[in-house]
C-alpha cells in the first residue's frame, strides 16, 4: 500500500494484493476460483473541501491467475462523507462496474461512527 499527500487537502492511494491457493474466494469483491491466486489492485484520490466535507474517486480491479473472463472484475466508485459531529460521519457513494463479478450500478449510503 502506498499513500501520498499530493497537496494539503488531496491524497492519493495505491493498493494491491494476492490471495494465494486454497479457498480463493475473496468474499467482499465477489471473485471465486477453484484453485490458484486472485490478484487485486486499486487506486483512489480523495480531497477535503472543508474540514467536514470530503469527496473521492476509486478504481478497483481483480482477476484470477487462470484469466477466465467470467472471473474478472473492474469497478469505479465516486463518493464522500460529511462529518455531522466529530464522531459521526454520513457517507455516500455511487458504484459502477464491468465484467460478471462486478456490480453494474449501485448507490451506497451509510454512517460511520468513531468510538473514541
Q: Can you give the pTM of this predicted structure?
A: 0.72
Beta bridge mates, 71: none
pLDDT tops 50 at residue 29: yes
Mean pLDDT of the chain: 84
Average of pLDDT values for 3-18?
94
**Per-residue model confidence (pLDDT) at position 69:** 47
Q: What are the pLDDT digits (tens) for 30-72?
A: 555 556 677 889 999 999 999 999 999 999 988 876 655 456 7
Which has the closest alpha carbon to 77: 107, 47, 40, 33? 107
Please give the class, per CATH, of domain 2-113: mainly beta
Q: What are the pLDDT digits (tens) for 66-96?
A: 655 456 788 999 999 999 999 999 999 999 9
Domain boundaries defined on the chain? 2-113
Amino acid at each position: 500500500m502506498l499513500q501520498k499527500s499530493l497537496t494539503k487537502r488531496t491524497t492519493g492511494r495505491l493498493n494491491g494484493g494476492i490471495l494465494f491457493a486454497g479457498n480463493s474466494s475473496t468474499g467482499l469483491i465477489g471473485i471465486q476460483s477453484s484453485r490458484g491466486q486472485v490478484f487485486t489492485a486499486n487506486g483512489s484520490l480523495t480531497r477535503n473541501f472543508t474540514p467536514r466535507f470530503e469527496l473521492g474517486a476509486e478504481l478497483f480491479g481483480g482477476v484470477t491467475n487462470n484469466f477466465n473472463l467470467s472471473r474478472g472484475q473492474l469497478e469505479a466508485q465516486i463518493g464522500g462523507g460529511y462529518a455531522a459531529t466529530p464522531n459521526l460521519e454520513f457517507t455516500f457513494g455511487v458504484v459502477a462496474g464491468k465484467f460478471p463479478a462486478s456490480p453494474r450500478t449501485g448507490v451506497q449510503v451509510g454512517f460511520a461512527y468513531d468510538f473514541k
